[in-house]
Structure 1
Amino acid sequence: MNITASYIRRELQDYYTPQEAGNLSRLICCEILGQSVVDYYLGKDITLSAKAEQELQSLLRRLRNFEPIQYILGEARFLGRTFQVASGVLIPRPETEELVEIMLKEISSTSRVLDIGTGSGCIAATLAKELPGAQVTAWDVSEEALAIAAANSLALQVPVCFEQRDVLTYIPGVTERYDVIVSNPPYVTEAEKQDMERNVLDWEPSLALFVPDADPLRFYRRISVLGLEILEPDGKLYFEINRTFGEDIVLMMRELGYRFVRLQKDISHNDRFVIAQK
């Protein structure tokens, strides 16, 4: 019997669901304490040194404070690759993986792509890796996020041009043009805070999460207007969205003159993506 794994579950049972505690137990034993996955599932125990025991207790304290395991590990997985993360960037989500998979099926391998609000750089670096003929540019308002994104790009050995830009105020140059814009902008309203888990609300960056209740579409509107200026004719715009506002975003983009605007569901059957053509 894996006594260490059982102990970890007991220490976390008042803070996480049984499934979450089990997943965290496996991650701690295999990713941090060095146990093989086979030994873990065979129920073999781990002999911990005094130093490892101290590290385990520190880790459990952080988890009981709802710090995300990805921030503790300093990394997260995205479409099979490992990305550096810290509290200055959002943890990549499975829905964003879906968005990138859609793009890889639809866009040209030589596209000029702009990722707005790049965060960890997971979208930009993945597109650059999967489409080596593409020219990928990524913006973020956060200097910390850009540093993390650049480190991820370097680790994957892909060329991405990172620029510090506030999309709400940025005025593009006359010759600035792209074939594709993609964005997973802030879209959680202030009113939705009360329904959020503490590991998100207490730890992930508010700058990348929240929009005012009075103007929940502010980033979608601004990026759509910007797209009319900097997208090439027939250029495409890809959004990850708050499932509550899918129809509103579609209507807004149609009123702005975008064509072939479509609302697409994620694997959980929630409205999650809006895709349109200039």
Structure 2
Amino acid sequence: MKTVQDAFNTFKQMLVPLYDVQEADAITTLVLSELTGYSKAKLKAFPETELTDEQSEKLSTILNQLQTGEPLQYILGHTEFYGLKFEVNPNVLIPRPETEELVGWIIESSELPPINILDIGTGSGCIAITLKHELKQATVSAIDISIGALETAKRNAANNQVEVNFIHADILAHENIKLDKKLDVIVSNPPYVTETDKRQMHTNVTDFEPHTALFVPEEDPLLFYNAIADFATKNLNDNGLLFFEINESYGEETIEMLNNKSFINIELRKDMSGRDRMIKCGWASY
């Protein structure tokens, strides 16, 4: 791989068994950008740019890792979410674009003055940290069962210079979680992938990303949604809001469950791909 063009050709050839051509192209661009410091436009405009021996060597190493199915974000050790940089590693899920849409929905729904927000199952901290970054007057807390995830999230908060209160807790044992005051917003992107879904997923997700953050029993796909909704009924202020990222196959079931627990103004929203992907609802105890 002597030039940028050589790298594109080699990566495309070696990655197409794993990824479609467009995705292979996007991965190659990202890797070359990372190694050379060039923008996407510059890489496309100057394909004959020569690579150093060190860059070629690094490209070969990364290509070998990619061929095992390891996600590029784990190989590079970071990704971008809502314009911010986040460390990612096998303790945490890689943030997805549809989760950015969920965060955008929360921001547009959140009225100042200061509000009290809790993110349940925070992983890398991408939701909680972004909300604190965008809603500076908010008080933001985040829960996760994984110590490794919380350590990653704490580093991400420090790197993005925001203050988030991280709590080690299991939401399935939510009766043990005691908060100082009630919440205005609860948000969660909990585990929702069933065995059926798993069979249709790319191995770079199923083989590398943390299973506790992904999978639920086939016979109880709303396990975490039920627990979080029950927790919300006791911990949301009147007129508080609950936001979920959901499994597109269980939109109606999730709405029904929330209805049964007396949530109000339930709204199902599609993501940019047109899939039922997120829910917002309100709470009123009266």
Structure 1 CA distance for aligned equivalents of residues 89 and 68 of structure 2: 16
Matched, 1:233 2:241: no
Match of 1:91 in 2: 94
Contact 2:174 2:231 in 1 (8 A): no
* Offset from partner CA, 1:164-189 (integer Å, 9 cap, x none): 01000132337541111000000011
1:240-259 mapped onto 2 (5 Å cutoff): 240-259=245-264
Match of 1:32 in 2: 35
1:172-183 mapped onto 2 (5 Å cutoff): 172-173=177-178, 175-183=180-188
Contact 1:4 1:46 in 2 (8 A): no
- Larger mean CA deviation between 102-111 and 52-61 belongs to 52-61
Contact 1:4 1:45 in 2 (8 A): no
Q: % of aligned pairs identical?
A: 40
Equivalent of residue 224 in structure 1, options 216, 221, 229: 229
Letter of the structure 2 residue corresponding to residue 62 of structure 1: Q
Structure 1 CA distance for aligned equivalents of residues 179 and 126 of structure 2: 28
Matched, 1:146 2:176: no
Normalising to structure 2: TM-score of the pair? Answer: 0.93
Structure 2 CA distance for aligned equivalents of residues 276 and 182 of structure 1: 11
Structure 2 CA distance for aligned equivalents of residues 226 and 255 of structure 1: 14
Structure 1 CA distance for aligned equivalents of residues 38 and 260 of structure 2: 56
Secondary structure, counterpart of 1:168 in structure 2: helix
Structure 2 CA distance for aligned equivalents of residues 249 and 101 of structure 1: 21
Matched, 1:74 2:77: yes
Structure 1 CA distance for aligned equivalents of residues 180 and 279 of structure 2: 26
Task: Report the aligned-residue RMSD.
Answer: 1.6
Deviation at 1:47, TM superposition (A): 3.4
* Offset from partner CA, 1:74-95 (integer Å, 9 cap, x none): 1111111111111111111111
Equivalenced residues, count: 278
Letter of the structure 2 residue corresponding to residue 79 of structure 1: Y
- Larger mean CA deviation between 24-33 and 254-263 belongs to 24-33
